[in-house]
Structure 1
Amino acid sequence: MGDVLSQAEVENLLNSLDGDPAAPAPTLTAPKAAPSFAGMPASPQRAREKVTPYDFKRPERVGKDQMRALQTMHEGFGRNYGAALSALLRTIVEVKLTSVDQLTYSEFIFSLENPTCFNLINAAPLEGQLILDINPSLLFPIIDRLLGGGSDSSPPARRPLTEIELLLVGRITSLFLNEMKQAWENVIELDLSVERVESNPQLVQIVPPNEVVVLISFELTLGEIRGMVNLCIPFNSIERIGQELSANSWVTYSSKPATPEAINNLGLQVQSAAVEVVVELADTNISTADFIGLRVGDIIATEKDVREPLSVLVEGRRKFEATAGAFKGRKAIQVVGAAADPRRDAQQHASKPPEEGAA
């Protein structure tokens, strides 16, 4: 404990608090230095510890790896959905991922317009429901386009959608769900369907207000018209598949199995490709002097039996076995079967000039 102040020092402190300028400043005894630990000298100033702020209203329950996975998946999804929407509307539509955030459900609800197009989506086998919100500033121009209208600069009406308009918007929503299913297919097979469509988002509560949700926002551009499309995924829906989202399987979300037509087209193109075919008659070792002295008509003796098959190399790789012969007065070979070890590397033979036969 520090030294006890004397009566005079206490009176001087009280006078200074009362604003008396004539009162001298109290003389205090300097505190003792803090003891050192583990043989380290005491420091006159303690280093500040880095404090990270934490907002209890917006807890981060989704890991960074999972957030990056969701962002990567939906970046490709946005491009594919934009292409599908362009084909449907017969005009250029750009869909760009703007943000992937986590917030509370109440914050998401109060950020939406009223009325809006609020789709409740069943995503079996995920628990609960997802939400697809489409801004009304986009819907009415899209409906106008589907009905054959042109560009209209008038502001969109602020009213709920009619039954006919809901049927037309269903085509836009169906495209969204189809592309979303393909984007998620390497993580989990989703069975997506719209349960119902609401106009007032504050009347729908799929999770408690404090529950964390992942909000994936897209900006959709149609000519000079821009608007937001929001996909809301509650945390409890993806909590069970957190390991799948953290894995690298989502990287190949856009890969699809080859179709028979693609395999056939690839085969036709490969058939016309030129390849090098070399027939290896035999191999032996000779001295450099003998090699330099070789002349036309000289005979090189080898230890290979004449009845043994010849090796046929395709692009340097041993593929077939053949026998030598003649066809229509020209040297030829007859393939008798596949090579015993087709994966054997034949680059070792490139260092010496093999004798070639005409196929």
Structure 2
Amino acid sequence: MTERTPFRARVHAPGAELDVQAYDFESPELIGGDDRARLDAALEAWGRQVGMLITAKTRAVVDVATAPSRIQSFGAFIASAEGPVLWATASSAGGRILYRIPLEEARYWAARMIGAAGDAAGDGAPLTSVERALARQVLTEQLAELQHATGGMFAEPVLEAFGTEPPSSVDRDAQAVVAVIGTLRRNDRRQLAAAIDAELVLQRLGAVAPHQDAAQVRTRIGGHLALAPVEIALRFDPTRVGPDTVLDLAAGDLIPLAHLADRPLVVTLDGEPVLHAAVGGNGERLACVVVSNGDLV
């Protein structure tokens, strides 16, 4: 016979406001505290170095600003791309890095590197072989700076794939640390973004937790769920009446309920029936006495 875990409810005063923080499962909080500050400082340093490289290559001053990193799946990162972009896939110490730049930004880099003004508006046409080669060179150098700018936090990435279509080899369900670098050149704003395998980042930060047994994980999740606040209510069996009955109700009228007098009421948690109970009291408050936790039929 399996021993049942005793049910413990956390009681809150009626009308009390519960301080419950929403959790975004699409952007889980895998990194926090000092580790988050250290990571964001390293990625900000990389963003500044990327800006210096762009300025040096194009001979046009560009200002950069790096947004705080966030956790996002590779699939969501790919889906968030706006307009034609270039994708560069690199590996670093066994982890994947996906780097994304606007196609017109790459075209501008290439134009400036061969002495053109780079002011002509792009028509979304594919890059020429020369533009593609120059853009690949610039992206390779920017990714290489990830190791130096972050003080060796990451191993030097090795470029694996480069093109206008997102790589099929990337696991889109895997989590990544996303860093967005905003650039401003005169009145032209662009966004470069890199998604770094979250497992790689956690390893480099030394924040990887030891492998946990699946049974232990389920037990801990169950413990968290047991402490989650829920609404508890006592419910009669529903009674169906016509609209005319409701419209004719007046003070003192009685409504016969379908619930039999000798039948226990139903205890619900967030609207879901879980127990049978009878009406009782606790001092000056109404209460219920659990009479059965069997099948609710």
1:140 aligned residue: 107
Q: Give the drift of 1:44.
A: 6.7
Distance across 1 between alignment mates of 2:65 and 2:160: 26
Contact 1:105 1:211 (8 Å CA) reproduced:
yes
For residue 214 of structure 1, the aligned residue among 154, 172, 177 is 177
SS of the residue 2:69 aligns to: strand
**Which AA in structure 2 matches 1:237?**
L
For residue 76 of structure 1, the aligned residue among 45, 50, 55 is 45
Instruction: Please show how residues 176-191 of structure 1 align to structure 2 within 5 Å.
Output: 176-188=142-154, 190-191=155-156
2:58 aligned residue: 89
Contact 1:61 1:212 (8 Å CA) reproduced:
no
**Which AA in structure 2 matches 1:195?**
E
- 1:232 correspondence with 2:198: no
Number of residue equivalences: 198
User: Where do 5+ consecutive residues of structure 1 fail to align?
Assistant: 1-41, 246-359
SS of the residue 2:67 aligns to: strand
Q: Give the drift of 1:138.
A: 1.2
Contact 2:29 2:71 (8 Å CA) reproduced:
yes
Contact 1:218 1:230 (8 Å CA) reproduced:
yes
Q: Give the drift of 1:215.
A: 0.7
- 1:54 correspondence with 2:23: yes
Contact 1:218 1:229 (8 Å CA) reproduced:
yes
**Cα deviation code 1:249-282 (max 9, x no counterpart):** xxxxxxxxxxxxxxxxxxxxxxxxxxxxxxxxxx
Q: For the aligned residues, what is the CA RMSD?
A: 2.6
**Which AA in structure 2 matches 1:206?**
V
Q: Give the drift of 1:174.
A: 2.9
**Cα deviation code 1:227-250 (max 9, x no counterpart):** 1111111212223223279xxxxx
Distance across 2 between alignment mates of 1:50 and 1:163: 58
Aligned CA distance change for structure 1 residues 186 and 194 (closer, same or farther; 3 Å): closer
Aligned CA distance change for structure 1 residues 195 and 108 (closer, same or farther; 3 Å): same
Distance across 1 between alignment mates of 2:151 and 2:207: 11
1:295 aligned residue: none
Distance across 1 between alignment mates of 2:182 and 2:145: 16
Q: Give the drift of 1:149.
A: 1.2
Q: Give the drift of 1:54.
A: 1.7
1:204 aligned residue: 168
**Which AA in structure 1 matches 2:191?**
M
Distance across 2 between alignment mates of 1:158 and 1:182: 34
1:32 aligned residue: none
% of aligned pairs identical?
21
**Cα deviation code 1:122-170 (max 9, x no counterpart):** 21x2x23101111113112222111211152x43222333322121112
For residue 192 of structure 1, the aligned residue among 150, 153, 157 is 157
Q: Give the drift of 1:43.
A: 9.4
SS of the residue 1:230 aligns to: strand
TM-score (norm 1): 0.50
2:136 aligned residue: 170
1:288 aligned residue: none
SS of the residue 2:203 aligns to: coil
The answer to which structure, 1 or 2, has the higher relative contact order (CA under 8 A, 6+ apart) is 2
**Cα deviation code 1:290-336 (max 9, x no counterpart):** xxxxxxxxxxxxxxxxxxxxxxxxxxxxxxxxxxxxxxxxxxxxxxx
Distance across 2 between alignment mates of 1:65 and 1:138: 34
Q: Give the drift of 1:221.
A: 2.3
**Cα deviation code 1:148-206 (max 9, x no counterpart):** 11152x43222333322121112321331232111233435x132211102112x5341
SS of the residue 1:77 aligns to: helix
